[in-house]
Amino acid sequence: MSDLHLLSEKLNNREIQLLDLLRQYPLRIDQGIWILSEPPKNLVENATNNVYTINLKALSTLEEKGLTEKQNNEIHLNHLGQKVAEYLQKVASHPQEKHNKQSTRQELSNAKLVKSNEMLELYRQGLSYREIGNQYKITRERVRQILDFNPAFHEYLIEREQAQKQAKAQAQKEQSEKKRQQQLAKSIIALYPERVAELWDYEKNAALSPEEVGAGSTLLSPWFKCPIDGHSWQKRPNYLTTSWSRGASGCPKCAGRKKKPESIVQNTD
């Protein structure tokens, strides 16, 4: 049995199809997988993301097996890849031999796929490669090879990755909302809604919302507006809320109008 035959036996159907395609035209990956024919055609046009990803993985596998090389951002068959592609074409040109080989290969492939699906179900349940290998009395590396042969395994990995990303995004969204609600509960408008409604100067504060300002903040100095004479002033919330707690508006102009009681001078004569 030749080395070319042994090498071709390790290729799955998708890799063989891409190898035969590369025998005729180089490929380029640029927002799709382009067949550099005249005119160029998109191999995965209107295909799902899963199909596109599986084709990319097959091209990567061909490169890892030393059958392709990149030249000026184009994928070509190297010398060994050309030999394997020619061997596969020669085998395909003999119908009876091809039929016998395909039948045998299909039987082996079906049996391997059945076992791979069984392992995939265990993997879905959370078992590791090593734990699956212990059940079948094979190494974890052999489990990985059998699963890697199965297109459903790669589709599951893509779906799982997408689900994990969605779950992470949802968790971040929920955490952000929780933090926002916590901040809102400590905001000046949550703790002093009537005072804010009466005194907050929306015009001068512009985009700054009272929901964004903590009642004990010492970093911001929002604008407040006196409802009596329209006087505006700036004050840090931690100081102003102290005035509010005493029942005062905190308006410095109003506070200045209130005269302090004069001290009584005692006559000592």
Q: Which pLDDT score, from 0 to 100, does residue 103 have?
A: 64
Q: In the chain, pLDDT over 90 holds for what percent of residues?
A: 29
Q: Which pLDDT score, from 0 to 100, does residue 111 have?
A: 78
CA dist., res. 127 & res. 254, Å (int): 73
Q: Which pLDDT score, from 0 to 100, does residue 149 have?
A: 85
SS3 100: helix
Other Cβ atoms less than 10 A from the Cβ of 260: the count is 5
Residue 165 has pLDDT above 50, yes or no: yes
Mean pLDDT of the chain: 83
Q: Which pLDDT score, from 0 to 100, does residue 128 have?
A: 94
Residue with structure tokens 């929002």? 222
**Mean per-residue pLDDT, 219-247:** 86
Max Cα-Cα span within the chain: 139
Residue 28 has pLDDT above 50, yes or no: yes
> The domain 3-93: what is its CATH number?
1.10.10
Q: Which pLDDT score, from 0 to 100, does residue 264 have?
A: 40
CA dist., res. 152 & res. 142, Å (int): 17
Residue with structure tokens 């059940």? 135
**Mean per-residue pLDDT, 212-236:** 88
Q: Which pLDDT score, from 0 to 100, does residue 175 have?
A: 92
Q: Which of 150, 235, 245 is nearest to 200 (CA)?
A: 235
Task: Provide CATH 1.10.10 ranges for the chain.
Answer: 3-93
pLDDT in tens, 168-186: 999 999 999 888 888 888 8
Exposure letters 215-228 (e unless 16+ CB within 10 A, then b): bebeebebbbbbee
